Structure 1
Amino acid sequence: MDRNDVDSRIRGLIEPFNKKGVEITDATTFANDLEFDSLTVMDFVAEIEDEFDIIITMNQQAEIENFGQLVDAVGKMAGD
């Protein structure tokens, strides 16, 4: 699975959570740009885990601050 595939699949998953219609780039942050609260993060992570059949630990979640980091991390976990 290449990075573009991971990126497009995550973009599809993030759509319902992007309440303000923020333009998603690799630099888009979850806390500041998208204003995700902890419950939203948990729901979004659950969607990603289901879609890619992976587990994202709390430690991994804490290290992922923006969309680009998420795409890269999911790509590695899903075995690019």
Structure 2
Amino acid sequence: MTDRTAILDTLRAQIESFNKKGIEVTEATTFQGDLEWDSLTVMDFVAAIEDEFEIIITMNMQAEIETVGQLADAVEKLKD
């Protein structure tokens, strides 16, 4: 299992508690469009991801991340 695969698995597990619509989560899943998260949900989720991976996701990075795949790329980059 690659690091990225492990990151995606962890992200999917973290998303589950926030996935009120119960949609299938793929790399193309968008946080705002598909999951319909509001800003408070995003902040809670980002805090959970930061704790899980022991990283800091800046507000600028958050603004650029729209999909699960983009988040996986960002986490992988920040972990290095």
* Range into which the TM-score falls when normalised by the shorter chain: over 0.9
Q: How does 1:54-69 map to 2 (within 5 A)?
A: 54-69=55-70
CA distance in structure 1 between the partners assigned to 2:24 and 2:17 by the alignment? 13
Give the TM-score, by structure 2 length: 0.95
1:48 is aligned to 49
Offset at residue 68 of structure 1 (A):
0.5
Amino acid at match of 2:54: D
For structure 1, the residue ranges without an aligned partner over 5 or more in a row are none
**Which structure has the higher relative contact order (CA within 8 Å, separation 6+)?**
1
After superposition, the CA RMSD in angstroms is 0.9
What are the residue-to-residue correspondences of 1:1-80 with 2, within 5 Å?
2-79=3-80
The alignment-based identity, stated in percent, is: 66
- 1:30-50 per-residue CA deviation (whole Å, 9 max, x = no partner) reads 001000000000000000000
Question: Displacement of 1:78 after TM fit?
Answer: 1.1
Question: Could you list the runs of 5+ residues in structure 2 that have no partner in the other structure?
Answer: none
List structure 1 segments (4+ residues) > 2 angstroms apart after TM superposition: none
Distance 2:9 2:24 in 1: 14
Count matched residues.
79
